[in-house]
Copies of this chain bind each other. A is one copy, B any other.
Amino acid sequence: MDDRVSSPPHLAISGVLAQLRGYLASASLPDDGRLPPERELADVLGVTRAEVRKGLSVLESEGQIWRHVGKGTFLGARPPQLVDISDLSQRSNPLQVMKARIALEPELARLAAVNGTAADLATLADIAVACREAETWREYEAFDSRFHHQIAEAAHNPILLALLETLNAVRRAVTWGRARPSHSRPPADHHSFADHDRIVDALSHREPATAADAMRRHLQNVEDRLVGRLG
């Protein structure tokens, strides 16, 4: 245990660590919190790149910094990665999609009852009619999608609208089992028609709680049929 001349290995590392901490405290970093590349740091601090990396590893495990190949080394916590639709759709199933819809859409209906303009609701009523008159399942589903999207528009909350659109993107990417015959069409007594009417009615009467409840029941109906409890 001789540390007179040069620091022994296990102490040298902590020495680099101290140097690094000092650097972080003193150096003025750019706005994005990026610090110099490892090679440069090694040069500035007068130590090996390997030593710098050891020190940075400690700081990273402490949560002080985060690193990424090609990007660099940054101060603070690692930012959350953006949604990757294809990845997300492969880690999800239709039931989880329904649960997400049940979380979002009743609240969207509630907000639409408060924030929606008369023009918003008129458009929505038109879409509900178009749903009834669709001549194929494919056409119906397109209008049904627009129906729910229009409610999100009427809520006038750009964040929730963006979240619903993300959810819809995942929904399209998730493989759904049921492939309906292209020639058939939704029956005249399809439950969604009445569901949609109840939602439109509650919105036009500006009843937030009723609208949210109608939407929740509607989606619950869809989920029940998905799981096989009905339909």
Which residues of A approach B to under 8 Å, CB–CB? 77, 79-83, 85, 88, 91-92, 96-97, 99-100, 102-104, 107-108, 111, 142, 157-160, 162-163, 165-170
Known contacts being A158-B88, A160-B103, is A166 close to B96, with CB within 8 Å?
Answer: no
Partner of A108, one of B77, B103, B163, B166: B103
Partner of A80, one of B97, B108, B169: B169
Closest B residue, CB atoms, query A145: B77
Closest B residue, CB atoms, query A158: B91
A101 → B minimal CB distance (Å): 9
> 9 other contacts beyond A82-B82, A83-B166, A99-B107, with CB at 8 A cut-off?
A77-B142, A80-B166, A82-B85, A88-B162, A100-B163, A104-B163, A159-B170, A163-B166, A163-B167
Copies of this protein in the assembly total 2
Are A166's CB and B166's CB within 8 A?
Answer: yes
Are A107's CB and B111's CB within 8 A?
Answer: no
A176 → B minimal CB distance (Å): 15
A102 → B minimal CB distance (Å): 7
A-B contacts, 16 listed (Cβ < 8 Å): A77-B142, A80-B165, A80-B169, A82-B166, A82-B169, A83-B162, A83-B165, A88-B158, A92-B157, A92-B159, A96-B159, A100-B163, A103-B108, A104-B104, A162-B166, A166-B166
Are B157's CB and A100's CB within 8 A?
Answer: yes
A5 → B minimal CB distance (Å): 41
Residues of B within 8 A of A77 (CB): 142
Closest B residue, CB atoms, query A156: B96
A103 → B minimal CB distance (Å): 3
A22 → B minimal CB distance (Å): 21
Residues of B within 8 A of A165 (CB): 80-81, 83
A137 to B196, CA, bound (A): 46
Are A100's CB and B166's CB within 8 A?
Answer: no
A85 to B166, CA, bound (A): 13
A111 to B96, CA, bound (A): 10
Partner of A158, one of B92, B103, B168: B92
Are B100's CB and A168's CB within 8 A?
Answer: no
Are B79's CB and A159's CB within 8 A?
Answer: no
